[in-house]
Amino acid sequence: MLKSVLIANRGEIAVRVARTAKRLGLRTIAVYSQADAQALHVRSCDEAHFVGPAPAAQSYLVIEKLIDAAKAAGAESIHPGYGFLSENAGFAEACRDAGIVFIGPPPDAIRAMGLKDRAKALMEKAGVPVVPGYHGELQEPKFLKQKAYEIGYPVLIKAVAGGGGKGMRRVDRHADFDAALDAAQREAQAAFGDARVLIEKYVSAPRHIEMQIFADTHGNAIHLGERDCSLQRRHQKVIEEAPAPGMSADLRAIMGAAAVKAARAAGYVGAGTIEFIADGAGGLKESGFWFMEMNTRLQVEHPVTEAVTGLDLVEWQFRIAAGGKLPLKQDQVLLSGHAVEARLYAEDPERGFLPSTGKLIALRFPADGSLRVDSGVEEGDAVTPFYDPMIAKLIVHDETREAALDRLAAALERTVVAGPRSNAGFLAALARAQAFRAGEFDTGFIDEHLAELGAVRQGLDRAAAARGAEELLKRESERLAPQPREASSPWDATDAFQLLGERRLTLPIMVDGEAVAAQAVYTANGRVVTVDGVASAADAVVVAAEDAVYVLRHGRQTKITLRDLSIDETAESGAGGLVRAPMHGKVLGLLVEKGTTVARGQRVAIIEAMKMEHTLHAPIDGVVAEIAVAKDAQVAEGAKVLVIEPKKEELG
C-alpha cells in the first residue's frame, strides 16, 4: 500500500479522499488557495501547502505548483479528486515524470476518452452503440448548422472537451442555432480552453444511466452496477440513485458488458464511468441505449454505488494504483437495497438557481446515524464565488426506493442552512414528486415541473416575516431590559403596557430587500406579531445573526432586518430600468453601448459565475443611459451594471 498522498483538489471530495486515506494509514497532504486557507479540507489533512491566489486558474489548475507541493511534502502519490485536473492527461504525465503515482488512469486513456469526438469514434470501432450525430473536426458555423439540419431537430451542441453541462446547448429550431452555437463555444473556451463542439441528435425521452467500471493493471475489468442520473438542471446532475428504476438484471448485464468493452478499448486502469443515454419512452430496453462519454475519474455520485455494494471506491483506487488486483470478480459483485443522493447547493431556486455566496451562519444536518453527509464546509465557513457552490451531498440507503426517497425528503426538510440561500426545499419537493416516484421522468423532468417544485418566484412569506419581526422585538426588549434593582419601577417595563385597551406597535422591517411593516399587538395575554394580518409562523427555525434574523420554513430562507427610516432603501433614480448583477461574478460581455435603444427582454450583458454564463436582460423599453462596469470586471451581487431610461416621447 502507498504511504502518502497529496490531494490535488478542495472541498467535499478532498475531505472524502482524506477520510479513506487516513483509514488506510496514508499521510494526507492538502493544497489550498488564498481563499481556502482555513477550509475544512485543509483542517482534515495532516499537512497543507499553499498553491496560489483564489482563482482556480492561478492555483488548483497550475500543474507546476501542484507537482512542486508534492515534491516538497515528499508525497508518494497524488489523488486528483474530480473536476479541476482530474481528467487532464498532461497532469497525469507530469506526475509520472516526477516519479509520483497518479491515482487514476494512464495519460493515453485520459487522452483517448477526454475528447468526445475521438471517444465516440473509438467506441464505434469497438462495437459500442453511439448516439447519431456529427463528431468530426470541421468547426465552420455554417457547416455545423447544416449538419444539425441533416440530423434533425432537436439537437444537442456539446463541447468536445470537458463535461458537467458546460458548453452544452439544446436547440429546437434552426433559427436558434447560431446564437446557441456561439454561447456553447464561448462557454467551452472559458471552461476548458477548447471551443470545439460536436452535434448530436437529442433523444426525446432521455434517461441518463451510467455504469461504474474498474480495471487493474493485470488485465481485469468489471462493472459495479449502474446509477440513474436523469434528474438534471442545465445538464448538471441534481439527484442520483442506484440501481436505476426499471432496470432488469438482463439489461444490466448487457449495458455492463458494453461498459467493460468500452474500458478495455481505451486501455483503462482505475475507476471510471461510462455514461449512456437511454430512450425512456415505453421503459428501458436492450436496443435503446447509446454511449455518450466516459468520465476518466471518480464521480460526484459515487456514494450511491458504495451504499448498494458495501464497497469503498476510493480504497479500490488506492489499491489498484499501488499495483494490486481488483478485489472482486464480476460474479462476486452484489447489489443490496436502494440508495439516493441529493446535491445541496448554495443557490436560489426562485431566481433561476443563481449561485448564492457568503458566510454559513448556520449549517446543521439531522441527527440520523444512517444518513451519510459528505461536505467540504462547516458552520461558520464561507461559500465563495471562486468555486463550485456545493455545500454537501446527502446520501440515504434503504431496502426499497420508496423508503429511501422518504428518508431523503425528511432529511432535507430538517437540514438547516442559513446565510447563503440553498436548494434544500427544492430537493425535498423533488424527492416527494409523485411522477418521479412513479418512474415517469427523464432528463427534462425538472424543467417541466419548476412551478410545482417551488423553483419560481414565491413572493413574500408573511408568516416567516412575522416570525423574524417577533425575534427582532425580543432582541430589542432584551437589549433595553433594565438592570436589576432593589425596587422596581413601572416605568422600567418593556411590555408596551398602557392603561387604555390594547397597544399597537408598527415595526418597519426589510424582508429580503423589500420594505415591510410588521404589527405588534400587546394584550393581557401577551404579544402577537403579524405582517399583513398573517401571524408569526410556529413551524419555522430561527437563526439569529448580528445584523439580521434568518427564518427557515419549508426549506426556504427569509432574511429580516430592521429598516433604517433615515434612508429609503427602495428608492433609487432610474430603478425601473436598473440592471443589477444577480450574483458575484465576472462581466464576460457588454452587449450594448451608452445611447443604445433597447427593448424589454433584450440581452444587454453576460456575467460568468462558477464557470457558467448568466445573461442579463433589459427590464424596460428605453435607452441605455449609463454603463457602470467594464468588460472583464468583477462585480458583487446587487452591483449596478447599467441603467436604462424610458425613451422620451417625441414632440409633434
Q: Which residues are catalytic?
A: 297
In whole angstroms, give the CA distance from residue 163 to residue 96. 25
What is the crossing angle of helices 141-151 and 177-192, to 10°? Answer: 120
Cell of 293: 462519454
CA–CA–CA angle 400, 401, 405 (5° rounding): 120
- Helical H runs in 310-400? 313-321
In whole angstroms, give the CA distance from residue 14 to residue 11. 6
**Which residue's C-alpha cell is 438592570?**
483
Q: Strand (E) positions, 436-525?
A: 503-511, 514-523
| CA-wise closest residue to 334 among 305, 362, 291, 354 | 305
In whole angstroms, give the CA distance from residue 288 to residue 635. 46
The alpha carbon of residue 229 and the mean position of all alpha carbons in its chain are separated, in whole angstroms, by: 14
What is the DSSP secondary structure assignment for residue 498, as one 8-state letter?
-
Cell of 162: 470537458
- Write out the DSSP string of 553-610: ETTEEEEEEE--TTS-TT--TTGGGEEE-SSSEEEEEE---TT-EE-TT-EEEEEEET
**Which residue's C-alpha cell is 428504476?**
245
- List the strands of the sheet with 603-609, edge to edge: 612-617, 603-609, 585-590, 634-635
What's at 251, amino acid-wise? Answer: L
In whole angstroms, give the CA distance from residue 421 to residue 423. 7
3-state secondary structure of 138: coil
The C-alpha R_g of the chain, in whole angstroms, comes to 27
Query: How many CB atoms sit inside 10 A of residue 600's CB?
Result: 12
Q: Strand (E) positions, 354-498?
A: 354-355, 358-359, 362-364, 372-375, 382-383, 390-398, 416-418
Q: Using CB atoms within 10 A of its CB, is residue 98 exposed (0-12), middle (13-18) or buried (19+)?
A: middle
Cell of 369: 446515524
